[in-house]
Amino acid sequence: MESPFCVSDLALKNPDFALIETLGWTGRELARLDLHLARLARGAQFLGMKVDLVQAQDLLKAATLPDRPARLRLTCKLSGALEVVASDMPAAQMIWRVGLSNMTLDPHDPYLQIKSTHRPVYDAARQHMAPQFDEMILTNAQSEVCDGTITTVFFDRGQGLCTPPQTAGLLPGILRQEMLSKGLCREETLVAQDLHKVRLFVGNALRGLIEANFYP
C-alpha cells in the first residue's frame, strides 16, 4: 500500500511525531518482542522511513534489569532516532470499570494503520474520562465498537471470544494480533447498544486480557 504520508511534510507539521511500541519485560524476557519489532517495521515501511531493528532490540535489552519486571516504551522518530524509556510495570487490576466515550474514530484515518504518538481521539477520550472509570470505549460513526483508549476490546456472546474487525476503525494491537493468529478469538462486529449484553474484556500486550464491567 502506498503511504498517504510525506515524511518531510509530517516532520514540519509534527516534529515530535514518533512510532511507538510499549513492551513488557517479565524480568527474564521481552514479551512478544518479535511481534512488536514486526509492527515497528511495518509502521516505518508505511511511512517510507528507515528503522534499525537490531539497534532497537539492543536498546530494549540494555534498558532491562534481571528479575525486575518493567514497562519499556520504544520510540522511533522520523529521522530514525530510537529511544527507550523504562518505568515500573502498572499494577495489576482484576476487573476494569469501562464506560462509553462520545468521541468517534474514522475507519479511513490512515493513522490507524500505525502505532504512533499521533492519537488525538484516543488521548482526548482518556483525558476526559471520569475518575470512576479505568477505560473508555470508542466507536465509529455507525456506533460500531472500535477500541479502548489504551486497550483492544474483546467480548463473548456465549459462543467464544471475539474482537471488532479492523475495518471498524482501530489500531493494530499486538495482543489482538496474537490471539487472532492462535485462533483464540475471531473478528465480529459489536454495536454500542449491545455492550451490556456481552461478557466484556479489554487488553493489550503489556497488561494481557482483563475482564471488564460496562457502565453506560
Q: Where are the domains of the chain?
A: 7-88, 95-214
Q: Which long-range contacts (CB under 8 A, 24 or more apart) does 37-40 make?
A: 39/115, 39/172, 39/174, 39/177, 40/74, 40/76
Cα–Cα distance between 211 and 201 in angstroms, integer? Answer: 4
pLDDT, position 3: 65
Contact 115, 19 (CB under 8 A): yes
Q: What is the residue type of 11?
A: A
Q: What is the pLDDT of residue 14?
A: 78
* Confidence at residue 11, expressed as pLDDT on a 0 to 100 scale: 55
pLDDT at 206: 94
* β pairing state of 186-187 and 161-163: parallel
| DSSP code for 10 | H
- At the topology level, CATH places domain 95-214 in D-amino Acid Aminotransferase; Chain A, domain 2 (3.20.10)
Selected from 3.30.470.10, 3.30.1300.10, 3.40.1640.10, 3.40.228.10, the CATH number assigned to the domain covering 7-88 reads 3.30.470.10
Mean pLDDT of 28-39: 96
CB contact at 8 A, 170 and 164: yes
Mean pLDDT of 96-102: 98
As a whole number of angstroms, the distance between CA 215 and CA 95 comes to 13
Measured CA to CA in angstroms, residue 27 lies from 20, 58, 63, 70, 89 at distances of: 21, 16, 11, 7, 11
Mean pLDDT, to the nearest integer, of 27-40? 96
pLDDT confidence band for 7 (50 / 70 / 90): low
Q: What is the pTM of this model?
A: 0.92
Our CA dihedral for 49, 55, 58, 62, rounded to 10 degrees, sits at -90
Using one digit for the tens of pLDDT, what is the confidence trace for 71-87? 999 999 999 999 999 99
The model's pLDDT over 142-191, given as tens digits with 9 standing for 90+, comes to 999 999 999 999 999 999 999 999 999 999 999 999 999 999 999 999 99
Dump the DSSP string for 78-91.
TT--EEEEEEEPPP
Cα–Cα distance, 30 to 20 (Å, whole number): 16
Helical ranges in 112-153 per DSSP H = 120-127
